[in-house]
Amino acid sequence: MQTLAQQFLTKAEQDTISDLVQQMEQQTSGEIVPMVVSASHSYPTAIICGATALALPLSLILMPVVSSFFWLGSQNVWIFIALFMALYGVFYGLVHRFAWLKRLFLSRSQVAAEVQEAAVASFFTERLYKTKDENGILIFISVLERKVWMLADAGINARIDPGQWQGIIDLITQGIKEKRQCEAICQAIVQIGDLLKTHFPHQKDDIDELHNIIVR
């Protein structure tokens, strides 16, 4: 079964993005790395809350119906407990499995924190800070949360105002909402490349130091 990240971009779309990154990097010494991950965190609390929120009202609705089959009082607490435990298990599995269902129970503040933390961790694990001119930039896309985060190395931040990335983040985010993520990512890469080539022109001895796309 494909991961959320693999479903997010087809193999052909991944190749298109990779080719575009390579093309833009022929115009700048900067390194652009689009990275797509299925999720930034497992969010166990969201699964528990979701399973509880779905199982509790349904258990209350079904309790008098089930009780009538056993000639028990409609307020029998053991019937409610049994129903709740069974339904909780079912909904726990469903919330865990289906991204659209889990999204309903995500905390916005936790999502923001987890995506930022995952982006920062990826920046270092993928060694974007190791480029010769400190000019690597990460486009981090977390599919479950539908969030985009961008991180640039010190060399870029010294010459380009980090506030300029927000427009590019908004561009990709809107593209994801409209289910044209490949097109939006490509547009973002072109915009980033145009910014970088002004401050970091291509040099004869440039080599491709980083991945052109990472999908996990």
What domains appear along the chain, each with residue ranges and CATH number?
4-41+107-215 (3.10.310.50), 44-103 (no CATH)
Q: How far, in Å, CA of 138 to CA of 214, rounded?
A: 10
- φ, ψ for residue 139 (rounded to 5)? -105, 105
Query: What would you report as the CA-atom Rg of the chain, rounded to the nearest whole angstrom?
Result: 23
Contact of 181 with 172, CB cutoff 8 Å: yes
Find, among 145, 151, 158, the residue nearest to 127 by Cα: 151
pLDDT digits (tens, 9 = 90+) for 147-166: 999 999 999 999 988 888 99
Instruction: Give DSSP secondary structure letters for 85-108.
Output: HHHHHHHHHHHHH-HHHHHTT--H
pLDDT digits (tens, 9 = 90+) for 97-125: 999 999 999 999 999 999 999 999 999 99
Find, among 169, 118, 180, 123, the residue nearest to 144 by Cα: 118
Indicate the range of 32-36, 58-62, 175-179 predicted with least confidence. Answer: 58-62
Q: How far, in Å, CA of 102 to CA of 92, rounded?
A: 10
Strands 136-142 and 31-37: parallel
Coil/strand/helix, residue 137: strand
Q: How far, in Å, CA of 68 to CA of 79, rounded?
A: 11
The letter for the amino acid at 130 is: K
Q: Which helix (H) or strand (E) holds 199?
A: helix 181-199
pLDDT digits (tens, 9 = 90+) for 89-102: 999 999 999 999 99
Across the chain, what does the average pLDDT equal?
92
Q: How far, in Å, CA of 63 to CA of 146, rounded?
A: 38
Residue 63 predicted with pLDDT over 90? no
Residue percentage of the chain with pLDDT more than 90: 75
In angstroms, what CA-CA distances link 147 with 158, 208, 211? 25, 27, 21
Q: What is the mean pLDDT of residues 195-216?
A: 84
| Structural tokens at position 69 | 């089959």
